[in-house]
Structure 1
Amino acid sequence: MARAIVLVLDSFGIGHAPDADKFGDIGANTFAHLAEKHYQITGKKINLPHLTSMGLAEASFAAGNTTFPIEPYAVTKGAYGYAAELSSGKDTPSGHWEMTGVPVLFDWGYFTDKENAFPKTLMATINQKTGYAGMLGNCHASGTEIIARLGKEHIKTGLPICYTSADSVFQVAAHEEHFGLDNLYAYCEMVRTLLDDYNIGRVIARPFVGNSAEDFIRTGNRRDYSVLPPSPTVLDKMVNADGHVISVGKIADIFAHQGISEKTKATGIDALVDATISHIQSARTNSIIFTNLVNFDQDYGHRRDPLGYAQALEAFDKRLPDIIDAMTDDDILYMTADHGCDPTWQGSDHTREFVPMIAYHHNIGDVNLGQRNSFADLGQTLAEMFSLEALDYGQSFYQQLSKNE
């Protein structure tokens, strides 16, 4: 019986989506722009031999209707295409839920004011329920910028740093030692119970350490508190059919721990890849190993660091043979993304883009999957792969993966 390994290259968009005009993202292209910046700064083309030989460049050129500097390699083994998003937003839960067969067709609630972002009544209720006299921040901000700006005041006053973004999110930054991890988690859990009427998708605990703005740094103890998907995902169907779903990284948090059999936390791309390989080596048949590589998004996309993003991609590409070597003949590797986050775009928010849809197994040939009309095509493919009940959205490409060399 087969196993599926799903790797989400968090924020790895490959060209603005057909509806990007609604989001102000016409012209965004995470992959093309980071590759161009890499070439401008280093004089070298980005080098991704394994991803390129699986068809990533071909899919990206088609999605963005452009070319960009990348070392050329012939497509030898891989199925490759590019997918548009049906969901109404360009946020993490929407992208992940859709790729498991449940697009978000309703509108999330947002805190749209850049300053004084949270309603006074909500702030008063949070303060009363949590026992804190107030909060710092109350604005739109980048996570690294706001701890540099308010970290010292946070330590002095003991008040949590609360902020938001263009996503449907309420984020809380707090110092692990001075505020305490358990206190941060308890605070976020309480806030989560108070946001249902606002239809906010996630509360995120953002712990950090350090002594000053120069060395404040976020840790790997982040925790996301999400609402449940509006209907059963392919993960739910897998678990209900006695299959096994393994979460690596923040996947379990994104699905509010529903449809998850086992979970592993790790910090950094290498550690996440190592954890994924460990599960490939030990997971039973009829399993989905589902990994989110969050660092592409939080360390490079949101921080608008195209060179760092490109170098992280090259480092990840070098790890792909380790993943492939751990796979059996029945395993299938899928790689995709949940949205874009163009590091050259204005602001620091996600971008509405096509995402890659790549699949690999040891006996596959060169398979062009073309344009996919929903991330849910991945969920439908997984449903067919494991003989599960079909999902309401998505078109399976499972039969196309049987093409041999």
Structure 2
Amino acid sequence: MRALILVMDSVGIGGAPDAERYGDEGADTVGHIAEACMAGRADSSAREGPLRLPNLVALGLGEACRLATGRVPPGLEGRVERGQFGCACEVSKGKDTPSGHWEIAGVPVPFDWGYFPRTTPCFPAELTRAFCEQAGLPGILGDCHASGTEIIAEFGERHMRTGMPICYTSADSVFQIAAHEETFGLERLYEISAIARRLIDPLNIGRVIARPFVGTSSKDFRRTSHRRDFSVPPPEDTILDHAAGAGRDVVTIGKIDDIFAHRGTGRNMRGDGNMALFDATLDGLASLADSGFLFANFIDFDTLHGHRRDVAGYAAALEAFDNRLPELLSRLRSDDLLIITADHGCDPTWSGTDHTREQVPILAWSTQSSSRIGRRAGFADMGATAARHLGLPEPMQGAHF
């Protein structure tokens, strides 16, 4: 008996009831991708035609979309063959990665994050001065709201000449630092990111993200998989804490350990991209002891395609993930629990480059006949369900299904 939660990062299924407050009324990541595919607007060298996700559909993705929006996206019609399906609305106040993941793990965020203003410069002058002094930096570049790939293209060559890191933010509660792995150094980037983490604690900023990249010019700069998030820890114990405290085997995949500030995250396994992360998930499952818990994040949907508003790439990534699912399902035991979900949306058809406030799917694999979980008021029900399955203390928030 084991439990797994897989987070398809940003795979939202329609605007949350409060989406208007976030400027996201009408956003629908999966629905709009499916419509674009059906209309031929997502054809590329990697894929063409309607969105094909037969394994996710068999687990209930299309019907989860129906619960969230009242309709099944084109191409996702089909019978739910084995599983429980539903959708959930976030109760935390953000639409960011930590809020979504912490809530899935049983701890909604009860406070407002701090954010940097949409000005240039966007960082307080005293913060920038302290950062440069304590990190021994000649200055910083950027100091604005920006897309990560665009700001690296704009300032990357100057960064390599001057040694000044590229610092920027987004609509999330985040301080991001981009630097060249070779000319600046990966360990040096991590070192200054840790300094920034200490400095922004009083501002209640959720994450400092170290964003390493390689390349020789703006024409070939590329971010690498050596990203590292420096997060504040969750305000209460999550299912990870409960599992670790009970001596259970815990395996985390991808950036889960960073998101939870390495608290209760057990053995972490990483990979460069979704397919490598899927390989790591299979390896982690093979080594997961009985009564153990595996928590995985698949980042490419969000980072490579959602934020870049790449509809065709997002569709191809969904199809590639779907194609790998039979490998995972064939390795599950009859008493295992698998939940596939998301942490927020990032509609690639939406304006801007930020996350979108959306409902998320809940797809729970089961050896029993299909059933309906329904609409859940909070992501924490997933953590409560996994905890109940493993016989762990259930988080203070959430109701198991």
The structure 1 residue matched to 2:309, chosen from 293, 304, 310, is 304
Kept in 2: contact 1:5–1:288 (CA 8 A): yes
> Matched residues in 1 for 2:315 and 2:300: separation?
12
Further displaced range: 344-353 or 259-268: 259-268
2:400 maps to which residue? 396
Kept in 2: contact 1:45–1:71 (CA 8 A): no
1:261 maps to which residue? 266
Q: Deviations over 1:61-98 (max 9, x none)?
A: 22022333215321110110000000010100000000
Q: Pairwise mapping of residues 6-405 of structure 1 onto structure 2 (< 5 A)?
A: 6-40=5-39, 41=41, 42=43, 44-361=49-366, 363-397=367-401
> Matched residues in 1 for 2:145 and 2:325: separation?
36
Kept in 2: contact 1:374–1:394 (CA 8 A): yes
Structure 1 unmatched runs, 5+: 398-405
> Matched residues in 2 for 1:238 and 1:260: separation?
9
Q: Deviations over 1:98-144 (max 9, x none)?
A: 00110001000000224211000100010111010210000001110
Aligned to 2:330, what secondary structure does the other structure show?
Answer: helix
Kept in 2: contact 1:77–1:366 (CA 8 A): yes
Q: 1:71 to 1:101 in 2, by over 3 A?
A: closer
Structure 2 unmatched runs, 5+: none
Kept in 1: contact 2:337–2:389 (CA 8 A): no
Kept in 2: contact 1:101–1:376 (CA 8 A): yes
> Matched residues in 2 for 1:66 and 1:359: separation?
20
> Matched residues in 1 for 2:265 and 2:354: separation?
28
The Cα of 1:214 is off from its aligned counterpart by 1.0
Q: What TM-score comes out, normalization by structure 1 length?
A: 0.96
Q: What TM-score comes out, normalization by structure 2 length?
A: 0.97
> Matched residues in 1 for 2:110 and 2:183: separation?
41
Aligned residue pairs total 395
> Matched residues in 1 for 2:111 and 2:135: separation?
30
Aligned to 2:30, what secondary structure does the other structure show?
Answer: helix
Kept in 2: contact 1:6–1:333 (CA 8 A): yes
Aligned to 1:204, what secondary structure does the other structure show?
Answer: strand
Kept in 1: contact 2:88–2:375 (CA 8 A): yes
CA RMSD after TM alignment? 1.0
> Matched residues in 2 for 1:131 and 1:310: separation?
43
1:401 maps to which residue? none
Further displaced range: 368-377 or 112-121: 112-121
Q: Deviations over 1:277-331 (max 9, x none)?
A: 0111121111111110011000010000111111110111000001111212221
Kept in 2: contact 1:112–1:166 (CA 8 A): no
Amino acid at match of 2:314: Y
